[in-house]
């Protein structure tokens, strides 16, 4: 049994699962910031990604700092996790981070950053989204940015667009 | 049709049908016994079953068709012997003996009229014991015995025949060695060790029609995998044993074989590999090569891989191998039917939401639209780079489109774990189980297990067929 007084054990108990129940993060607070930071900066990419998904849901003022640490990682999978987690954080705290991720070179990061803009409507990011809608090399991202600016859900068949430009393999 | 009742084993050729069905009784994965039969009159020689009977954990059993037509079974459970019989339904067990440890042998010999039942079994304290039942004039006589022999040597399994010499003859496994005994009047002669360092399971023993007198043929699960065949040349006055002649594959725990009515007397064999049943056969002439294994009484689950992103921790081949290792213990064969590359960059990272009973997200629905002609009863596995939020995999799928997502950072067991969810299995606590909720990266004592309830659940799902 994990030691309930050990914050790292509490974190690992949740994120080691194949399908973590991130809703359990609502029971966690500042006590898990240190272990989450350790995992986000650690060598295990999977644990770093899951730590990001968990970190975005805890009750702490340090959430954005954790996400910024993760956004600095070179592995695009971790940055995708950050972009995907932005929607869980109050909008006023993430404008810089959102703007940074809208400029990311990775397709998936930009896709989820646009989705975060659509969810948060952060005004400072609107220019970047307009730029993507106008000139991103990826047709899918141009389209999905356009829908985000109009406040509309992209149609499902938009996700079925094929292109030669793939995520970093 | 040659009678198989004077040789022990769990495979026989009965008098059912015109040619004579093959009949088989083995312990069922979740307790009790399972009866299978092969219709040798039907094209394709289909196996049917299981017809289940009994309860609890049984050893390997011995099956025969008595001279009055009933199927009769003797097995060991909890140190005691149990006798079942079938007229139109299975009856029993009639319990007898005590202190038994291992797989018993059971025949209807030629002593008495219509032929006594003879049982030999290993004893927990060492040595062997013999029981018999006088079947005339009533077939409800009590079992007589025990009559112990074989000193204090520790045996794990035994095979018995009533030979054409008129003797009871035994092959018994003692660790990796095989000992031979024969009964001379009322006195058992032996042990005579015929092989050392080769056996890894319960042996089988027949007297074939090969040679003028009829050779003795012994097959035993072999240390290191597969099977080993020995034979004794009964035409040679020195009666030398030859072998081992290895064949087959897999980690086999027990074997049973017969000389059937096919051809000039083919050898036909069923080996137990975990809960899998493997059939082999060999013609009664050169080149004497064994054909098989042919796995039967298995169910199949059919997978199609759709590749959006290649896994980075394990290859799809390693994941498939891991899943096969686990599912074969449930008697379920995992077939990879197709692999297709999908160029869907917008779904390489897929939003899966809560990945629970609330249902698929619009991105999952879009992803699962790419079945591309896959049959409704087949599962499609979509390999993506990541999910948002981060999961190893997700089994939530649109109705009527069974399948799952597996991410690039999944463990070797995630594929089997997610398919388990698709088949209706939930999370469990123990760390040596496929469905452990604590994460398949942390599985201990691999390959992980399925418990009996999970096996029943998987085999009962319409997606396994």
pTM: 0.80
Whether A28 has a pLDDT exceeding 60, the answer reads: yes
pLDDT at A14 over 50: yes
Interface test with A, best of B308, B314, B349, B372 (most A CBs within 10 A): B349
pLDDT over 60 at A2, yes or no: no
B112 pLDDT exceeds 50? Answer: yes
Q: How far apart are the C-alpha atoms of A108 and A141, rounded to whole Å?
A: 10
pLDDT at B264: 87
Q: Do A84 and B442 touch (CB under 8 A)?
A: no
CA-nearest of B355, B356, B342, B441 to B384 is B342
The least confident of A36-40, A88-92, B449-453 is A88-92
pLDDT band at B3 (very low <50, low <70, confident <90, very high): low
> Tell me: the pLDDT tens digits for B223-267?
999 999 999 999 999 999 999 999 999 999 999 999 999 988 999
Question: Tokens 């640490």 appear where?
Answer: A69
SS3 content of chain B, % helix, strand, coil (to 5): 10, 45, 45
Nearest CA in chain B to A164: B343
With beta carbons less than 8 A apart as the criterion, state whether B2 and B265 touch: yes
Write the ipTM: 0.94
- The pLDDT tens digits for B176-189 are 999 999 998 889 99
Q: Judge whether residue A169 has pLDDT over 60.
A: no
List of long-range contacts for B38-43, beta carbons under 8 Å, 24+ apart: B38/B296, B40/B13, B40/B262, B41/B17
Residue A3 pLDDT greater than 70, yes or no: no
Q: What is the pLDDT of residue A165?
A: 43
Across chain A, mean pLDDT equals 91
| Token pair 């030999």 in the structure block, residue | B120
d(CA A129, CA A126): 5
CB–CB contacts below 8 A, A to B = 118
At B50, list the tokens: 């299981």
Searching chain B, which residue's CA lies closest to the CA of residue A53?
Answer: B389
Question: Tokens in use for B246?
Answer: 């290895």
pLDDT average, residue stretch B291-314: 95
CB B278 within 8 A of CB B271: yes
**Which two tokens mark A18?**
């194949």
Minimum distance, in Å, between the CA of residue B393 and any CA atom of chain A: 6
Quick check: B345 and A166 CB within 8 A? Answer: yes
> pLDDT tens-digit profile of B403-448?
999 999 999 999 999 999 999 999 999 999 999 999 999 999 999 9
d(CA B462, CA B465): 6
Residues A42-94: pLDDT tens digits? 999 999 999 999 999 998 999 999 999 999 999 999 999 999 999 998 877 89
pLDDT at residue number B139: 60
Q: How confident is the model at residue A141 (pLDDT cuts 50, 70, 90)?
A: very high
Contact at CB, A84 and B391, closer than 8 angstroms: no
């Amino acid at each position: 049994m994990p030691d309930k007084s050990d914050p790292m054990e509490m974190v690992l108990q949740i994120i080691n699962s194949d399908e973590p129940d991130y809703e359990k993060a609502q029971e966690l607070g500042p006590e898990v910031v240190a272990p989450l930071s350790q995992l986000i900066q650690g060598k295990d990419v999977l644990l770093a990604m899951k730590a990001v998904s968990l970190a975005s849901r805890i009750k702490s003022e340090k959430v954005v700092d954790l996400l910024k640490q993760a956004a600095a990682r070179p592995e695009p999978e971790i940055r995708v996790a950050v972009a995907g987690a932005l929607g869980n954080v109050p909008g006023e705290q993430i404008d810089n981070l959102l703007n940074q991720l809208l400029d990311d070179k990775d397709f998936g990061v930009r896709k989820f950053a646009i989705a975060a803009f659509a969810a948060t409507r952060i005004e400072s990011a609107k220019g970047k989204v307009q730029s993507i809608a106008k000139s991103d090399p990826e047709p899918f991202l141009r389209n999905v940015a356009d829908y985000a600016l109009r406040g509309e859900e992209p149609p499902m068949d938009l996700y079925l667009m094929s292109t030669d430009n793939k995520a970093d393999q | 049709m040659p009678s198989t009742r004077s040789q022990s084993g769990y495979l026989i050729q009965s008098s059912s049908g015109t040619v004579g069905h093959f009949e088989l009784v083995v312990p069922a994965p979740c307790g009790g016994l399972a009866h299978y039969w092969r219709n040798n009159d039907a094209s394709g020689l289909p196996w049917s079953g299981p017809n289940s009977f009994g309860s609890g954990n049984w050893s390997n059993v011995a099956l025969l068709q008595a001279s009055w037509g009933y199927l009769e079974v003797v097995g060991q459970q909890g140190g005691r012997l149990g006798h079942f019989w079938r007229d139109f339904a299975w009856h029993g067990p009639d319990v007898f003996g005590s202190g038994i440890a291992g797989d018993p042998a059971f025949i209807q010999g030629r002593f008495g009229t219509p032929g006594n039942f003879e049982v030999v079994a290993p004893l927990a304290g060492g040595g062997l014991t013999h029981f018999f039942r006088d079947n005339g004039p009533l077939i409800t006589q009590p079992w007589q015995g025990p009559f112990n022999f074989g000193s204090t040597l520790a045996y794990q399994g035994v095979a018995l025949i009533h030979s054409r010499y008129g003797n009871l003859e035994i092959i018994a496994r003692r660790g990796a060695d095989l000992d031979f005994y024969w009964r001379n009047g009322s006195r058992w002669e032996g042990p005579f060790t015929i092989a050392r360092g080769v056996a890894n399971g319960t042996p089988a023993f027949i007297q074939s029609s090969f040679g003028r007198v009829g050779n003795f043929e012994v097959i035993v699960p072999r240390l290191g995998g597969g099977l080993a065949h020995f034979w004794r040349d009964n035409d040679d006055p020195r009666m030398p044993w030859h072998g081992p002649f290895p064949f087959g594959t897999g980690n086999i725990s027990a074997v049973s074989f017969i000389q059937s009515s096919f051809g000039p007397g083919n050898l036909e064999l069923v080996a137990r590999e975990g809960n899998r049943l493997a059939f082999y056969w060999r013609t009664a002439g050169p080149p004497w090569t064994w054909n098989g294994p042919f796995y039967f009484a298995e169910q199949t689950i059919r997978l199609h891989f759709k590749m959006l992103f290649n896994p980075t921790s394990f290859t799809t081949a390693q994941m498939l191998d891991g899943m096969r290792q686990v599912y074969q213990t449930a008697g379920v064969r995992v077939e990879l039917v197709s692999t297709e590359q999908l160029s869907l960059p917008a779904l390489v990272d897929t939003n899966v939401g809560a990945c629970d009973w609330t249902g698929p997200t619009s991105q999952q629905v879009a992803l699962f639209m790419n079945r591309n002609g896959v049959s409704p009863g087949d599962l499609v596995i979509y390999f993506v780079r990541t999910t948002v939020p981060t999961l190893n995999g997700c089994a939530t799928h649109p109705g009527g489109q069974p399948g799952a997502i597996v991410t690039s950072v999944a463990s070797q067991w995630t594929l089997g774990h997610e398919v388990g969810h698709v088949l209706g299995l939930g999370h469990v606590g123990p760390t040596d189980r496929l469905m452990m909720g604590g994460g398949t990266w942390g599985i201990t004592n691999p390959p992980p297990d399925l418990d009996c309830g999970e096996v029943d659940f998987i085999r009962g799902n319409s997606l396994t067929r």
